[in-house]
């Protein structure tokens, strides 16, 4: 899953990048509002962590511009402005959730994953696809009741497809969300990951819609 971190404090930004990557995210990070507005306008993200007190362009203005432009990705505000009126203003500007600093990373991660699940119409952190069961909180998997070994990239590919129910996803889009925009675009790598997953779990797990991309079989 691909996340944009918008935070002007370099220490907090570095901590968020490190912790989110350890949790399986591909992370882009910027430190001012103009860069944030541009990134969110031209790139696709599964979630955004947004500070409000930003140089060049404040966070609420960035958020309003994104929403006015039709950008619908989930936005978690992470701000030192913890007064209830600030929270109301953030939600009304288009934020999906608001967490005040200081924060615990575990809580932030749980909130982000919850926002993404709800955006995909899922209520649980556990996804079942045929005989395969993914626990997206524990980053673990079982197949027909037995532990299944998945590489981080294999897990992230399945997790991303599970967040796109009923939609075929192109190899280019998958590459961007698994590797990031700078390193993405290697469709051969995506084809190799899909081939490995089919060898492990059967050819019907991931279907190919010619001209559109890859799609999971209906979730159970």
> pLDDT tens digits, residue range 86-122?
889 999 999 999 999 999 999 999 999 888 877 766 6
Whether the per-residue pLDDT at 184 is higher than 60: the answer is no
Average pLDDT over residues 123-148: 82
Reduced 3-state DSSP string for the chain: CEEEEECCCHHHHHHHHHHHHHCCCEEEEECCHHHHHHHHHHCCCCEEEECCCCCCCCHHHHHHHHHHCCCCCCEEEEECCCCHHHHHHHHHCCCCEEEECCCCHHHHHHHHHHHHHHHCCCCCCEEEECCEEEECCCCEEEECCEECCCCHHHHHHHHHHHCCCCCCECHHHHHHHHHCCCCCCCHHHHHHHHHHHHHHHCCCCEEEECCCEEEECCCC
How much of the chain, in percent, has pLDDT values that exceed 70? Answer: 94
pLDDT digits (tens, 9 = 90+) for 22-53: 988 989 999 999 999 999 999 889 899 999 99
Which of residues 28 and 211 earns the better pLDDT score? 28
Strand partners, 162: none
Q: Give domain 126-216's CATH number out of 3.30.930.10, 3.40.50.300, 1.10.10.10, 2.60.40.1260.
A: 1.10.10.10
Quote the pLDDT of residue 185: 58
Q: State the pLDDT confidence band at 193, using cuts at 50, 70 and 90.
A: very high
The rounded mean pLDDT for the chain is: 88
Q: Where in the chain is the domain with CATH 3.40.50.2300?
A: 2-119
CATH topology of domain 2-119: Rossmann fold (3.40.50)
pTM reported for the whole predicted model: 0.74
Quote the pLDDT of residue 78: 93
Q: How far is it, in rounded angstroms, from Cα 102 to Cα 11?
A: 13
- Residue 202: both structure tokens together: 């059967």
pLDDT digits (tens, 9 = 90+) for 157-180: 998 888 787 789 999 889 988 887
Whether the per-residue pLDDT at 220 is higher than 50: the answer is no
Quote the pLDDT of residue 138: 80
Quote the pLDDT of residue 27: 93
Q: Where in the chain is the domain with CATH 1.10.10.10?
A: 126-216
Quote the pLDDT of residue 179: 84
């Amino acid at each position: 899953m691909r996340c944009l971190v918008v935070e002007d404090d370099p220490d907090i930004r570095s901590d968020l990048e490190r912790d989110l990557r350890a949790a399986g995210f591909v992370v882009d990070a910027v430190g001012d509002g103009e860069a944030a507005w541009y990134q969110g306008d031209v790139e696709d993200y599964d979630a955004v962590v947004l500070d409000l007190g930003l140089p060049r362009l404040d966070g609420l203005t960035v958020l309003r511009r994104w929403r006015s432009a039709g950008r619908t990705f989930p936005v978690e505000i992470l701000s030192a402005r913890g007064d209830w009126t600030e929270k109301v203003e953030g939600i009304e500007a288009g934020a999906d959730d608001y967490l005040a600093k200081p924060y615990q990373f575990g809580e932030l991660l749980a909130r982000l994953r919850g926002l993404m699940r709800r955006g995909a119409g899922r209520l649980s952190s556990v996804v079942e696809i045929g005989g395969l069961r993914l626990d997206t909180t524990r980053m673990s998997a079982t197949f027909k009741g037995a532990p299944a070994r998945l590489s981080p990239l294999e897990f992230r590919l399945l997790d991303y497809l599970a967040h796109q129910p009923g939609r075929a996803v192109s190899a280019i889009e998958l590459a961007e969300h698994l590797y990031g925009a700078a390193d993405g675009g290697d469709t051969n790598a995506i084809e190799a990951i899909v081939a490995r997953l089919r060898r492990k779990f059967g050819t019907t797990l991931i279907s190919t819609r010619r001209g559109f991309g890859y799609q999971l079989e209906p979730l159970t």
